[in-house]
């Protein structure tokens, strides 16, 4: 996916006076939220999960592996993993050392292998190898918290059970003044309150794409970002 066209301002200099949203920026006005959503639609109309997968089971495994790891790295590991263990039953029978070696490069590989094995066994034993379609049931699986469950429900099944909150969304939601919270559960609640439910799934994908392409953690590209006029934390003209 090519980056959206830049809007350079070569004659301008930008500085940031604070990393926190300005006073009065919370709660965000509905008109500002609508403007942000409209701009995200223009920039990323086809945003989707960037983890490669063919079915809900593969998406579940890939999302578990994505913890503290880039999607790019996960996508390098999963083809061989899914070729060797294509079903929950096959994965449940995998020798732990073999599995650990296959996913080693994703980091925290021992804990991830344990979670993958536990999830595969529970899927096989309790849900006949099918990935469940409810938040409560998904949260029973090892290695699955609300973020992973929201990814699976939204991306695999189109079920808007909540808003995915990963590191990108945590960063951007704060910078855009969409929340003042820092805990994922509270950030999610704030976003659920101000974003229309029918937008929860797409909005999360769009914000993640924007965080990967423009609003980087260390050096946000405010000089080319169309959201700057509605971002309380943006670099401003000096």
Instruction: Check pLDDT > 80 for residue 237.
Output: no
CATH 1.10.1670.10 domain locations along the chain:
162-233
DSSP string, the chain: -PPPPP---TT--EE-S-SSPPTT-SSPPHHHHHHHHHHHHHH-TT----S--SSHHHHHHHHHHTTTS-HHHHHHHHHHHHHH--SHHHHHTS-HHHHHHHHGGGSSHHHHHHHHHHHHHHHHHHSTTPPPSSHHHHTTSTT--HHHHHHIIIIIH---SS----HHHHHHHHHTTS----SHHHHHHHHHHHS-GGGHHHHHHHHHHHHHHTS-SSS--GGG-TTGGG-TTS-EE-
Reported as a single tens digit per residue, the pLDDT across 57-112 is 999 999 999 999 999 999 999 999 999 999 999 999 999 999 999 999 999 999 99
166 in active site: yes
Find the mean pLDDT for residues 132-157. 97
Superfamily of domain 56-157: Hypothetical protein; domain 2 (1.10.340.30)
| pLDDT score, position 26 | 67
Residue 114 appears among annotated catalytic residues: no
The average pLDDT across 171-190 equals 95
Mean pLDDT of 208-226: 94
pLDDT tens readout for residues 3-15? 554 444 443 444 5
Beta-strand relationship, 236-237 and 14-15: antiparallel
Is pLDDT above 70 for 238?
no
Q: Which of 13, 34, 71, 147 is catalytic?
A: 147
pLDDT of residue 24: 52
The percent of residues in the chain predicted with pLDDT above 70, rounded, is 87
Q: Looking at the domain that runs over 162-233, which CATH code has it been given?
A: 1.10.1670.10
Q: What pLDDT sits at residue 235?
A: 67
**Catalytic option among 166, 190, 193, 223:** 166
What would the mean pLDDT of 15-41 be, rounded to a whole number? 74
Q: Where in the chain is the domain with CATH 1.10.340.30?
A: 56-157
């Amino acid at each position: 996916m090519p980056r959206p066209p830049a809007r350079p301002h070569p004659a301008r200099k930008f500085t940031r006076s604070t990393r926190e949203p300005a006073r009065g920026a919370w709660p965000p006005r509905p008109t500002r939220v609508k403007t942000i959503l409209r701009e995200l639609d223009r920039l990323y109309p086809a945003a989707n999960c960037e983890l490669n997968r063919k079915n809900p089971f593969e998406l579940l495994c890939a999302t578990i592996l994505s913890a503290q790891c880039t999607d790019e790295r996960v996508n390098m590991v999963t083809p061989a993993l899914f070729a060797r263990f294509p079903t929950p039953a096959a994965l449940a029978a995998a020798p732990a050392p073999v599995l650990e070696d296959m996913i080693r490069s994703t980091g925290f590989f021992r804990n991830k292998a344990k979670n993958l094995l536990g999830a595969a066994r529970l899927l096989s034993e309790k849900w006949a190898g099918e990935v469940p379609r409810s938040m409560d049931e998904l949260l029973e699986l090892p290695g699955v918290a609300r973020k992973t469950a929201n990814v699976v429900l939204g991306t695999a099944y189109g079920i808007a059970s909540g808003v995915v909150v990963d590191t990108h969304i945590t960063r951007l939601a704060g910078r855009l003044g969409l929340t003042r919270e820092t805990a994922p559960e509270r950030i999610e609640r704030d976003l659920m309150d101000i974003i229309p439910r029918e937008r929860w799934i797409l909005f999360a994908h769009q914000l993640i794409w924007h965080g990967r392409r423009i609003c980087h953690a260390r050096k946000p590209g405010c000089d080319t970002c169309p959201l700057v006029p509605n971002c309380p934390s943006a670099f401003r003209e000096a």
